[in-house]
Homo-oligomer: A and B are copies of this chain.
Amino acid sequence: MQIYRAPIEDMMFQLAAFGYEDVAGLSRFEAFDLETLRMILEQTGALASDVLLACNRAGDEDGVKWDPATGAVKTARGFREAHRALAENGYYGLTADEAHGGGGAPYTLGTLVREILMSANKSLAMAPGLTGGLIEALEAHAAPELQTMYLPKLAAGEWTGTMCLTEPHAGTDLGLLTTRATPNDDGTYALTGTKIWITFGEHDLADNIIHLVLARLPDAPQGVKGISTFLVPKVLPDGTRNAIACSGLEHKMGIHGSPTCVMDLTGATGWLVGQPHRGMASMFTMMNAARLFVGVEGISLGEIAYQTALEFAKDRRQSRALDPRRSDPSAAADNILVHPDVRRMLLNARSTTEAMRGLAVLVSTNIDLAHHHPDEDARQRAEDLVALLTPVVKSYCTERGFANVSDAMQVCGGAGYTRDWSIEQYLRDMRIALIYEGTNHIQALDLVGRKLPMHDGRLFRTFVKEARAAVAAGRAHESTAGFADALDEALGHLVGATEQLAERAGRDREELGAVASNYLHLFGLVACAYSWVRQVAHAVATDAPNRATKLKTARFFFALVLPELHGVLGKLGAGAAPMMDFELDEL
């Protein structure tokens, strides 16, 4: 049984709470006011529940089939039709430029749409997800001829996109990659090498697949400063097949409906995207979006797992309420929602999912502002927040999302472990998000090693200023002042930990690596507390219809989730020695 209703009301609330009006106020997005967004989100929710969810189980059961004779990959029952529905309704090009046939929608809408699609069918939603990332990279870095030739087809979902980074010996460490690109006489390049983990590298959904491939030119320096990016289509402009083919699939714990391909390039024709040896720029354009969206997966799967567990719980009766006043004497047992621990697990998921949805909207509105705000200071402030919070959202939301799906499973007891309620699929589908697009620890290193020191700490100061403004807003009302005080205290811990980190960083980079993951965890908790204070302050200030429930959910978060930060703080002081003092043969 698969159950999902897009959380439209909460999305609309988050848009209002996190200042979407600033985005709607930009001339580029004047067609995208709040009511338009609601309409699109409702349509998306209907498509997700009716079409995507309907083949989500099939994707898990059928998986994808690779034909060794032809290298062709067949997707699961219903995937072709669902893909077509996504393409025809404009989801592949939703945020692409209108000049390239896109929908011209703000990033913020793209994020919420992504949340919905990922809830209903994570495997399939990766196809428009990657294609959107490729569109963004080509818009930013490709020559106009390439844009004209490829962007309209990609935006229409007639063709799909991939990013070909990883090689067997080069995963986290892209500097090791060896795929070679040799110039041809006509200005194209011949690419040779093997790429792995290529999502939707081969499939039967579309007529052409456009790969963005990282490779080295003959004169390339070693390491990441010698990487260039190339556009390599499966089918060449003259209609012939290019020398890139799928030579096998990975067998994974989850996302069975999404083909994870080994791609062999044997002199494949490619076109340079961007400058020689500057391929990391296009890679990061695609990757930064991907990181935010992978964080969103934790929201998506936490949400559908929560909804499923709640549906189960509403029906299930076991044992008597601990408080006899809640007991139902007309039945042989009470509904399990009378048990505090069942609610604890449900509210763990809900209170963090709503906090994280707020963060995703915050980052997304700031992406829109960073790209399109007329004022340079406003753009810079927005860029700071995006750069700082993207690794936090990627890691914290995926870790928490995984825990939330596990909590939802626990609510259902044995039933949660069976295929009947599908939570076990969501848990398997979720787990990869802690790994791909840069493992969660790589995000933590990005946060402590790059983002914190950047511009002499300006990014962090920008966040602290935002958070202090939220504290002040929260203190303005009696019903939210307690939350504001708790945020203020948590923020003080984060500032203290950040100062300690800065002091250590110069002294010992190994110590930085040792504390990075725990520091990111602390940041994630404080960011969620910040998200909650903004939400309750907005709910109270506007007397929103969900005001009472938001206050209760925030109260749960502050009482039963935020205290985790004391555990994390306790670990931060440990430094590197407890790990590094082991000799290799002691491990």
Contact = CB atoms under 8 A, between A and B. Distances in A.
Interface of A: 166, 169-173, 175-176, 197, 250-254, 310, 317-319, 321-323, 332-333, 337, 339-341, 343-344, 346-347, 350, 402, 406, 409-410, 413-414, 416-420, 424, 427-428, 431-432, 434-436, 439-441, 444, 508-514, 516-517, 548-549, 552, 555-556, 559-560, 562-571, 573-574, 576, 578-582, 584, 586-587
A587 B510 contact: no
Contacts of A436: 414
Given A253-B424, A413-B435, A414-B436, A441 B341 contact: yes
A413 B173 CA distance: 12
B552 A574 contact: no
Contacts of A347: 578-579, 582
Given A318-B172, A414-B171, A567-B568, A341 B419 contact: no
Contacts of A513: 322, 339-341
Contact of A427 (B431, B573, B576): B431
A582 B417 contact: no
Given A171-B414, A566-B570, 15 more contacts: A170-B318, A173-B333, A176-B318, A322-B509, A322-B512, A323-B509, A323-B580, A340-B579, A347-B582, A350-B587, A413-B435, A428-B428, A549-B586, A552-B578, A567-B570
A514 B435 contact: no
Contacts of A322: 509-510, 512-513
B441 A417 contact: no
A399 to B, nearest CB: 10
Contacts of A439: 410, 413
B431 A310 contact: no
A587 B173 contact: no
A253 B417 contact: yes
B564 A552 contact: no
Contact of A253 (B319, B343, B428, B435): B428
Given A337-B587, A509-B323, A418 B581 contact: no
Given A173-B318, A173-B333, A567-B568, A251 B418 contact: yes
The 7 closest A-B pairs by CB, nearest first: A563-B570, A567-B567, A253-B424, A340-B514, A559-B574, A343-B579, A566-B566
Nearest to A334: B173
Contacts of A323: 508-510, 580
B566 A569 contact: yes
Contacts of A574: 559-560
Contacts of A176: 318, 332-333
Contacts of A549: 582, 586
Given A251-B418, A417-B253, A417-B435, A341 B514 contact: yes
A564 B563 CA distance: 10
19 contacts: A169-B317, A251-B420, A252-B419, A253-B418, A321-B510, A340-B513, A343-B579, A344-B514, A350-B587, A548-B586, A549-B582, A555-B578, A559-B574, A560-B571, A560-B574, A563-B567, A563-B569, A565-B567, A567-B568
A344 B517 contact: yes
A584 B337 contact: yes
Contacts of A321: 510
A436 B418 CA distance: 13
A48 B427 CA distance: 29
B567 A197 contact: no
Given A417-B252, A570-B564, A410 B435 contact: yes
A581 to B, nearest CB: 6
A435 B416 contact: yes
A580 B325 CA distance: 12
A346 B578 CA distance: 12
Contacts of A578: 347, 552, 555-556, 559-560
Q: Which one of A172, A322, A432, A562 has the highest number of Cβ atoms from chain B below 10 Å of its Cβ?
A: A322
Nearest to A196: B414
B332 A424 contact: no
A238 to B, nearest CB: 35
A517 to B, nearest CB: 6
Contacts of A586: 548-549, 552
Contacts of A435: 409-410, 413-414, 416-417
Nearest to A548: B586
A360 to B, nearest CB: 23
A576 B444 CA distance: 35
Contacts of A332: 176
Contacts of A581: 552, 555
Contact of A340 (B410, B417, B424, B580): B580
A341 B517 contact: yes
A543 to B, nearest CB: 17
A475 to B, nearest CB: 21
A321 B584 CA distance: 14
Nearest to A514: B340
